[in-house]
Amino acid sequence: MSNITQLRCINCSRTYQPRPGFYTCPICGSTDGILDVEYDYDYINKSISRQSLASNREHSLWRYRPFLPVAQEGPLPPLRVGWSPLYRARRLGDELGLKELYIKDDGINPTGSLKDRPSAVAVARALAEGAKVVACSSTGNAASSLAGAAASVGLKAVIFVPGRAPQGKVAQLLIFGATVISVQGSYEDAFKLSAAAIAEHGWYNRNAAINPYLVEGKKTVCLEVAEQLNWEVPDWVVLSVGDGCTMAGAWKAWVDLKKAGWIDKLPRMLGVQAEGCCPITRAFREGTRVKPMPENTLADSIAVGVPRNPEKALRAVRDSGGTMINVSDEEILAAMRTLGRTSGVFGEPAGAAGTAGLIKAVREGIIKSGDKVVVLVTGNGLKDVANAIKAAGEPIRVEPSLEALKEALARYGK
């Protein structure tokens, strides 16, 4: 891949040349030796420009192919991933007192979440390396995205999920023909078992916290934001945080664009975690290493008690001059209602957690009324209908008569 110069360990700064199956720094180990992908920006600028994108009709993440760790010619999965809408959220902005608020709805991706982006990159790389089986552990969204992408090209997918994974997400996996291993334990248990199985069988590793190329897929969400805002950088980018990979990817997009000379400033990043599982927020506030926490939140996609990629996320927040904030499950459920009521966007709990954090950050004066803000909605509400009903409540039940309807509407003040 002539667009990549090297891989760099974020811990010791040693550099390595990319090669199949090489994911972490052998000196620092799999926990601390997470790698960054570094690019040849001169090469990128010869291959793509802001002007060329204006006439590019490839409305998917592959429009940014020179910014991605895939062969510039080679097989790609056919599902249309990316180029999700960026809405000007006027009603929600008015309600919060924000003059310029945008919602990036990534729940419209093929399997309903932002995780389709890294899975598309994973499958492209697996095809290039001649892999027959791809595998990962997941709380649900990474699993369904990998299963869908693998099915589209005929790869076998083996997925490890904790027993608490929502049925809607498990159903997707099974429909896509994946081999689904429901691990009767925590996400950490599922991760450890998947790592052991991947090492034992030599499967392609889609675990985003280990495989550095997958963060590059996640960054496409903010490459799109930049283009959709006509390259005007927002003041804040707000998103939910689980293991830290999405935050790392979102920040990497802005850094890459600035290094390529496409933008002249960087946004501040606001990371949002659930109060019941917030190890990265705690490490940010205390200035310490991440310590394990229980996975005690209904927002399953960000319920990661032992995050595997926290340092990139912490670095993103600190380097951007941003901050971290926690929200309760009740605030997440309320944000799901607010997001739907004001914007017509249906987010699952983890997908709407960013909106909950935005609401809280405005209330606490972190985000000001004149700031230009983009909030990412990372997953579709149909992923977790049980919690959607918990957020919205039950329908009004009536007998099939106009009189009964009138009485019910009056009783509920409708």
Sign of torsion over alpha carbons 160, 77, 246, 199? positive
If one compares 58 and 73, the residue with the highest pLDDT of the two is 58
Burial level of 22, CB count in 10 A (0-12/13-18/19+)?
A: middle
Q: What are the tens digits of pLDDT across the range 274-331? A: 999 999 999 999 999 999 999 999 998 899 999 988 999 999 999 999 999 999 999 9
Question: Does residue 20 carry a pLDDT above 80?
Answer: yes
Look over the chain and give the mean of its residue pLDDT values, rounded to a whole number.
94
Report the percentage of the chain scoring pLDDT > 90: 83
Q: Which helix (H) or strand (E) holds 350?
A: helix 349-363
Separation of alpha carbons 348 and 111, rounded Å: 13
Q: Which helix (H) or strand (E) holds 64?
A: none
What Å distances lie between residue 386 and 140, 166, 299, 394, CA to CA?
15, 9, 12, 11
pTM equals 0.94
Question: Does residue 345 carry a pLDDT above 90?
Answer: yes
User: Going by C-beta distance under 8 Å and a sequence separation of 6 or more, which residues neighbour residue 207?
Assistant: 136, 137, 191, 194, 195, 198, 214, 308
Q: What's the mean pLDDT in 205-233? A: 94
Expressed in percent and rounded to 5, the helix, strand and coil fractions of the chain are 45, 15, 35
Cβ-contact 331, 359 below 8 angstroms: yes
pLDDT given at position 258: 98
Question: Does residue 267 carry a pLDDT above 70?
Answer: yes
Nearest in space to 113 (alpha carbons), one of 299, 382, 306: 382
User: Going by C-beta distance under 8 Å and a sequence separation of 6 or more, which residues neighbour residue 219?
Assistant: 67, 249, 250, 252, 253, 256
What Å distances lie between residue 26 and 10, 13, 210, CA to CA?
12, 12, 12
Strands, sheet with 179-183, edge to edge from the N-terminal-most edge strand: 179-183, 156-162, 133-137, 204-205
Q: What are the tens digits of pLDDT across the range 83-99? A: 999 999 999 999 999 99
pLDDT given at position 191: 87
pLDDT given at position 402: 96
Q: Is 177 left (phi over 0), alpha (psi -120 to 50) or beta?
A: left
- Report residue 1's pLDDT band, with 50, 70 and 90 as the boundaries: low
pLDDT given at position 171: 86
342 is in an annotated binding site: no
Nearest in space to 216 (alpha carbons), one of 36, 47, 18: 36
What Å distances lie between residue 360 and 123, 189, 324, 331, CA to CA?
37, 33, 11, 9
Q: What are the tens digits of pLDDT across the range 29-71? A: 877 899 999 999 999 999 999 999 999 999 999 999 999 999 8
Question: Does residue 412 carry a pLDDT above 90?
Answer: no
- Could you tell me which residues are beta bridge partners of residue 6? 38
DSSP state of 68: S
Question: Does residue 209 carry a pLDDT above 80?
Answer: no
Domains 86-112+213-392 and 132-202 belong to one CATH topology: yes
Domain layout of the chain by residue ranges: 86-112+213-392, 132-202
The residue ranges of DSSP E strands in 227-378, in sequence order, are: 236-240, 268-274, 323-327, 372-377
Q: Please provide the CATH number assigned to the domain covering 86-112+213-392.
A: 3.40.50.1100
Asked which of 111-115, 191-195, 366-370 is least confident by mean pLDDT, the reply is: 191-195
141 is in an annotated binding site: yes
- Report residue 162's pLDDT band, with 50, 70 and 90 as the boundaries: confident
- Could you tell me which residues are beta bridge partners of residue 71? none
Does 3.40.50.620 match the CATH number of domain 132-202? no
